[in-house]
Structure 1
Amino acid sequence: MPRPPDPAKRRDLLNRVREYVIRNGLADLSLRPLARALGTSDRMLLYYFGTKERMVAEALALDERRPLLRARDLLDPTASPKNPAELRRFVEQTWQQLSAPNMRARLPLYLEIMTASLLHPDRYGPVMRDVLTEWTGLLISVFRGLGMAEARARTEAALLVDALFGLLTAPLADGDWDRSDAALHTLLDRLEPGWHNT
C-alpha cells in the first residue's frame, strides 16, 4: 500500500510553487524546469498534486496576499455595507488594496490566468470562473442587503466586477494607474446615486 503524501511537504511545495509562478508567470511553465528549481522531480509534483493546473490553482489559493482570490476575506460579514455610501467606501478600499504598489507585481499573473482560461478553458477556466463567481456572489449579497431585487443585484454586481477587472488590466499594459484610479472614482460617482433607488 503506497504511503500517503506528507501534508507538511505538500504545503512547503505549494508555497514554493506559488513564489515560482509569481516570479516566472504561466506562459512557459513546464513541470521539469519547475521541479528542478524546487529541488524535486516532475514525478514528485504529479504525485502530490495530480496535474500542473491543479497545483497552480492550489498554490495561488494559498497566497494570503492574493489580490484577486480573497474576495470574502475583504469583507467582514458583520460589517457588510448597509447603505450606498458604505458600499462605495468598500469598493474604494478594495481598489486601493488591489492597485497598491506592493500588489502590482502579482497582478500580471492573474492577467495571464485570464488569458490562459480563454485559450485553455479545460485547464485554467475553473480558476477564473471561481474568481469571478466569488467576487460577483459577494457583491450580489451586498446589493441584496441594500434591498435590491435579485435580478438587479446580479446586474449591478456584474457591472462592478467587470469594471474593476478592466480597470486593473489596462495599467498593467501602460503603467497609468492614475488614469484607472480617476476612472474608478468617476464610475462610482455615476453608479452610487442609482444604488439609492432600490
Structure 2
Amino acid sequence: MPRPPDPAKRREILDQVREYVTLHGVTDLSLRPLAKALGTSDRMLLYYFGTKEQMVSEALDIYARRPLLRTRALLEAIGPPTTPADLRRFLEEVWQQFTDPQVRATLPLYFEVMSASVLHPHRYGPVMRNIVGEWTRLYTAVFRDLGMDAERAGTQATLLADASLGLLTAPLADGHWERSHKAFQALLDLLEPGWDIPG
C-alpha cells in the first residue's frame, strides 16, 4: 500500500508554487520548468496533487481567501454594523485590505486564475463563482443584520461585491489606484442613503 503524501511537505510545496506562479503567471505554466525551479520532479508534483490545475488552485486558495477571512474575523471582533454609518466604516476597512502590498501584488494572478476558471471550468474549477459568491453571501448577511429583507439585502450585496471587483480590476490595467479609491467612496455615497431602515 503506497504511503500517503506528507502533509507538511505538501504545504511547503504549495507555498513554493504560489511564489513561482505569482512571478510567472499560469497561462504558460509547464510542470517541468516549475519542478526544476522547486528542486523536485514533475512526477513528484503529480504524486502530491494529481494535476497541474489542482496544484495551482490549492496553492492560491488560502491566499485568495485571506481578505475574506480577515473580514469575517473583523465582524466577529466588532459585531455586525447596526447603523448605516457603522456599515460604511466597516466597508471602508474591508476596502483598505486591498491596499496591503502583499494582497495587491497577487491580484493580477488571482484575476488570471479567475478568468481561466470562467473559460476552462473543467480545469480550474469554479474559482470565480466561489470567490464572488462568498463575498456576496457575507455582505448579504451584514445587510440582513442591519434589518433589510432578504431580497433587498441580496441586491445590495451583489451590487457592492460586483462593483468592488470591477474597481479592483481597472487599476491593474491603468495604475490609477487613487482614482479607484475615490470611485469606491463615491459608490458608498450613492448606496449609504438606501441603508437607512425605517424603525
Which TM-score applies when normalising by structure 2?
0.91
Q: Is the 8 A contact 1:15 1:62 kept in 2?
A: no
After TM superposition, the structure 1 = structure 2 runs for residues 18-97 of structure 1, keeping only pairs within 5 Å, are 18-63=18-63, 66=64, 69-75=66-72, 76-78=75-77, 79-97=79-97
Deviation at 1:194, TM superposition (A): 0.1
Query: Which amino acid counterpart does residue 49 of structure 1 have in structure 2?
Result: F
Deviates more, 1:123-132 or 1:174-183: 123-132
Matched residues in 2 for 1:38 and 1:101: separation?
25
CA offsets per residue over residues 72-103 of structure 1, 9 Å max, x none?
Answer: 33233252222221211111111111134443
Q: State the match for 1:11 in structure 2.
A: 11
Whole-angstrom CA distance in 2 between matches of 1:102 and 1:17: 16
Pair 1:164-2:161 in alignment:
no
SS in 1 for 2:5: coil
Identity of aligned residues (%): 62
Give 5+ residue unaligned stretches, structure 2.
Answer: none
Residues 14 and 55 in structure 2, CA contact (< 8 A), matched pair in contact too: yes
- Per the TM alignment, residue 118 of structure 1 is displaced from its structure 2 partner at its CA by 2.2
Equivalents in 2 of 1:32, 1:81: separation in Å?
50
Q: Can you list the C-alpha shifts for 1:126-185, whole angstroms capped at 9, x where unaligned?
A: 222221121111111101101111111111111000011000000000001111111100
Q: How many residues align?
A: 195
For normalisation by structure 1, the TM-score amounts to: 0.91
Q: In 2, are the aligned partners of 1:72 and 1:138 still within 8 Å (CA)?
A: no
How far apart, in 2, do the equivalents of 1:106 and 1:56 lie?
Answer: 14
